[in-house]
């Protein structure tokens, strides 16, 4: 029985070390794919379910200076640039700054267009509202990725963590 427990512990440690080694990389790539994919969809009329709310939000936030298809083109380009930056790991500081800027714009419909974001305010979001609220995870992912921009990393070994915190 002791052999089984030790064997499981070793496997658990190996898996944990693998996750610490590759987790942030995979997070960066997967968030990059989401931004790239959703950004590309916005270049093609009718393919992105976020088109109407996105253009309406940009129109409102810019007091009508940027509206319609031009607003969508800017948003698509911003999202594709964020995606490319994350996927290839280039200009990460700038990319993460753009990501946070884009996320601030993305959350504003919860406040500007509450009737479109909620069926019952504040606890029953519409599909669009759910789409916006899930961005909390993307913001958190950006923060985790940002913690590694200067060479930081995840550490799976609790002994090393306690050594470094002293």
pLDDT at position 67: 83
* Burial tier of 131 (Cβ tally within 10 Å: 0-12, 13-18, 19+): middle
Region 35-43 average pLDDT: 96
pLDDT at position 164: 60
Q: Would you say residue 43 lies in a domain?
A: yes
**Residue 55 burial (CB count, 10 A):** 19
pLDDT at position 7: 87
Q: What domain range is 116 assigned to?
A: 25-158
Region 150-154 average pLDDT: 87
Percent of the chain with pLDDT over 70: 96
SS (H, E, C) 88-135: HCCCHHHHHHHHHHHHHHHHCHHHHCHHHHEEECCCEECHHHHHHHCH
pLDDT at position 124: 95
Summarised one tens digit per residue, pLDDT across range 106-146 is: 999 999 999 999 999 989 999 999 999 999 999 999 999 99
Q: Would you say residue 13 lies in a domain?
A: no
Query: Residue 69: is its pLDDT beyond 60?
Result: yes
Q: Would you say residue 14 lies in a domain?
A: no
C-alpha span between 110 and 129 (Å, rounded)? 7
Q: Would you say residue 38 lies in a domain?
A: yes
- Helices (H) then strands (E): counts for the chain: 9, 2
C-alpha span between 55 and 70 (Å, rounded)? 9
Q: Would you say residue 99 lies in a domain?
A: yes
Give the number of domains in the chain.
Answer: 1
pLDDT at position 163: 59
């Amino acid at each position: 029985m002791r052999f089984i427990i030790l064997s499981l512990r070793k496997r658990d440690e190996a898996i944990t070390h693998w996750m610490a080694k590759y987790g942030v990389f995979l997070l960066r790539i997967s968030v990059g794919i989401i931004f790239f994919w959703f950004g590309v969809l916005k270049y093609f009329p009718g393919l992105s379910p976020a088109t109407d709310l996105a253009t309406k939000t940009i129109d409102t936030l810019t007091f009508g200076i940027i509206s319609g298809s031009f607003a969508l083109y800017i948003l698509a380009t911003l999202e594709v640039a964020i995606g490319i930056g994350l996927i290839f790991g280039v200009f990460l500081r700038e990319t993460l700054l753009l990501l946070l800027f884009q996320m601030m714009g993305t959350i504003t419909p919860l406040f500007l267009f509450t009737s479109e974001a909620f069926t019952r305010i504040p606890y029953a979001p519409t599909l669009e509202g759910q789409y916006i609220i899930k961005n909390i995870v993307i913001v958190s992912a950006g923060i985790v990725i940002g913690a590694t921009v200067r060479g930081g990393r995840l550490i799976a070994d609790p002994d090393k963590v306690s050594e470094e915190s002293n």
